[in-house]
Amino acid sequence: MNRRDFNRTLFSLAAGAALLGAAGPALAATPLPRPRPFHLRQGLPRAKVVLDPGHGGRDPGALGVTGVREKDVTLDICRTIRDRIGRSGGPEILLTRDGDVFLPLNDRIAFAEEMDADLFISIHADAAPTPAARGLSAYTLSERASDGLADALASTENRVDRLYGVDLSHTDAAVAMILQDLAHRYSHHASRTAKQKLVSGLVGQIDLLYNPMRSASFAVLKSAQVPAVLLETGFLSNPQDERLLAQTESRRRIAAILGNRIATVAGELRIQAGA
């Protein structure tokens, strides 16, 4: 079931209910990749991506040993992706925050749903349980974590705010179960597809964490409508990653590589949804 069919089914059921590691040397040595324009099938609107710079305001996120703040790293990377992709004619890029402000987790994913985004990506640079962990990794939602590292990251992130869920309190219980099942089937499948496409397209371009595709119960990924992926651009608990993420030029290169991949994946999701 594609996204448009899912939305139509959701509407019909509701009506019935009413009746019833960033790469170090490589990043420094290679020129910035050019934004890749993505041409959609004629008649389809531009894809829309919501980027979520992790943390912000009174929540600094992870702190590196030299004082680098996660909230600053994530905002700079997201702004750079938006500015580069915006000039390329690729997907429309929106940010959940464009300044140093605090946002509840549920407001972040709710914004993506209100904007009818094709893809939601939450950008982070957390601290890992072990300083040896480094490199980029991607996460999708799962009530059971894929491994201890993913579980630890989700636990840390979820402390920021209460869990987000779809409000079905005024819906018939039986129909609510059907809606939830349909929603989760669509969003989970599309999220896993996006994660796989994002990571596979980054191989050889940027350092990746061992086993870079993982899953856990991240509150910010709990959307019934929008495919959602959390990207760790690196770990500020690792000295090498922190040095890279602290450098403006390195962040620009990371953003350029990610931006090209995000544009491609978002365009593919838009085509699938409109097929």
pLDDT of residue 260: 93
**CATH fold of 3-13+46-274, please?**
Aminopeptidase (3.40.630)
Residue 145 has pLDDT above 80, yes or no: yes
DSSP lists the bridge partners of residue 141 as: 216
Cα gap 65→59, rounded to integer Å: 17
User: How confident is residue 114, by pLDDT bands cut at 50, 70 and 90?
Assistant: very high
User: How confident is residue 27, by pLDDT bands cut at 50, 70 and 90?
Assistant: low
Strands (E), the chain: 48-53, 92-95, 119-124, 136-141, 208-216, 228-232
pLDDT of residue 164: 33
Residue 7 has pLDDT above 60, yes or no: no
- The amino acid that residue 108 corresponds to is R
Q: Which one, of 133, 149, 135, 59, lies nearest residue 97 by Cα? A: 59
The dihedral region occupied by 38, where left means phi > 0, alpha psi between -120 and 50, and beta the remainder, is: beta
Q: Model confidence over 89-100: pLDDT tens digits? A: 789 999 999 999
Residue 21 has pLDDT above 60, yes or no: no
- The pair of structure tokens assigned to 33 is 């990749």
- The amino acid that residue 243 corresponds to is R
pLDDT of residue 273: 66
Q: Residues 5-29: what's their mean pLDDT?
A: 43
- The pair of structure tokens assigned to 147 is 């491994």
Q: When comparing pLDDT for 233 and 224, which is higher?
A: 233
User: What is the Cα 268 distance to its own chain's centre?
Assistant: 16
Query: Which range, of 13-17, 35-39, 204-208, 215-219, averages the lowest pLDDT?
Result: 13-17
Q: Model confidence over 44-80: pLDDT tens digits? A: 678 899 999 999 999 999 999 899 999 999 999 999 9
Q: Model confidence over 172-195: pLDDT tens digits? A: 555 444 445 555 566 778 899 999
pLDDT of residue 184: 57
- The pair of structure tokens assigned to 65 is 């040993």
Is the distance from CB of 69 to CB of 60 less than 8 angstroms?
yes
| % of the chain residues with pLDDT over 70 | 73
